[in-house]
Structure 1
Amino acid sequence: MVFYILLIILLLTIIYLLLVPIVFYIDTSTNQYFIKIKGLLKASIEPDEAEIFKIHLKVFFFNFFVYPLQKKKRSKTKAVKKNISKKRGDKRIPFKKVIRVLKSFKIKQFQLDIDTGDCISNSKLYPIFAFLNFYRGHHLGVNFEGRNKMLLYVENRPIRMIRSFINI
């Protein structure tokens, strides 16, 4: 009986991991940049006073900070490693598969508001952005006030990535 309960829990966990959404979020106006696996993990980039930035990891109920630009401490004794090169087969991923995996991502929200600093360039971009807004439904804007901001909210599920990678 306990075996069946553990088997059901394992099966439900696998199904949850395949169906859980993975979110990529970039918002330059509020300085929010994160990758989130709902209910499991959130990795966000935050500014830091000592370093340029830090990565804030939230895993379940635990919070970690990672400083990727800090130099790692190395021990004084260096082990001598022999360079033994092993020849491996060519295991490149075909370009078509990469494109199919990228197409599995869904753009939930995209907003772009730019100012190039040159009023002539802005006036040339205005009809292009108006045309793209009409046909694509995203909010693309050109301003003459010096504001530059972007909001990108992309979502995917592991089952979609696996299915697009496996299918021919």
Structure 2
Amino acid sequence: MWFVVFFILFLVLILYLLLIPIIVNINTNQNQYEIRLHNIVKATIEEHEEELLRIKFKIFFFSFYFYPLKKIRNDKKSKSAKESTTKSRRKFSISKMMSMLKSFKVRKVLIDMDTGDNVLNAKLYPFFGFLNYYLGTFNINFEGRNQLVLQIQNRPIHIIKSFINK
């Protein structure tokens, strides 16, 4: 009896993890770059004084840092790791990549741009007005501000389905 209850709970957990949204937020004005799985997992890219950048992972109530650009001190381990990854690589076709990219939904787009050239800004102004009418919020300014705000959402089930269908 207990086995059936645990099995059903396990299936519900798997189903929940497949249907939970993955949200990617990019905000260049506030230097925010993050990937979230609802309130379960959050990965944020941050600046660091000693290293160039660090990634902060927050899983439930635990948080820890990862330094992806830190030098690997032991060359023997890195050589054996490189050899094992080259043997087990599979070909990733362009059609699979495109179907995976098509599964993402863009929720929010804001581009506020200044090219530094007033003539080019004036030429881009009607084009950005057209994009603003149909796609998102696009602005051309003559004040030197550049900003990108992008929010993309997907679900793991859609990613898996894109790999299976192609």
Aligned twin of 1:150: 148
Aligned twin of 1:96: 95
Aligned twin of 1:166: 164
- The reply on whether 1:139 has 2:137 as its aligned counterpart is yes
Letter in 2 for 1:2: W
Distance 2:53 2:92 in 1: 33
- The count of residues paired between Structure 1 and Structure 2 equals 162
Determine helix, strand or coil for the equivalent of 2:65.
Answer: strand
Distance 1:68 1:120 in 2: 41
More helix by share: 2
Percent of aligned pairs sharing the same letter: 44
Letter in 1 for 2:34: F
Distance 1:66 1:88 in 2: 27
1:1-168 map, 5 Å: 1-74=1-74, 91-136=90-135, 138-168=136-166
Determine helix, strand or coil for the equivalent of 2:8.
Answer: helix
How far residue 88 of structure 1 moved from its aligned partner, in angstroms, is: 6.8
Deviations along 1:65-87, one digit per CA (max 9) or x if unpaired, are 11222223328xx5897xx89x9
Letter in 1 for 2:154: N
Distance 2:70 2:125 in 1: 43
Structure 1: 5+ residue stretches without partners: none
Letter in 2 for 1:132: L
Q: 1:68 to 1:88 in 2, by over 3 A?
A: closer
Distance 1:165 1:73 in 2: 37
Using the size of structure 1 for normalisation, the TM-score is 0.87
Deviations along 1:87-129, one digit per CA (max 9) or x if unpaired, are 9799423322221111110000000000011101111110110
Q: Runs of 4+ in structure 1 displaced over 3 angstroms?
A: 78-81, 87-91
Alpha-carbon RMSD: 2.5
Using the size of structure 2 for normalisation, the TM-score is 0.87
Distance 2:127 2:60 in 1: 45
How far residue 9 of structure 1 moved from its aligned partner, in angstroms, is: 0.9
Structure 2: 5+ residue stretches without partners: none
Determine helix, strand or coil for the equivalent of 1:108.
Answer: strand
Larger Rg, first or second structure (1 or 2): 1
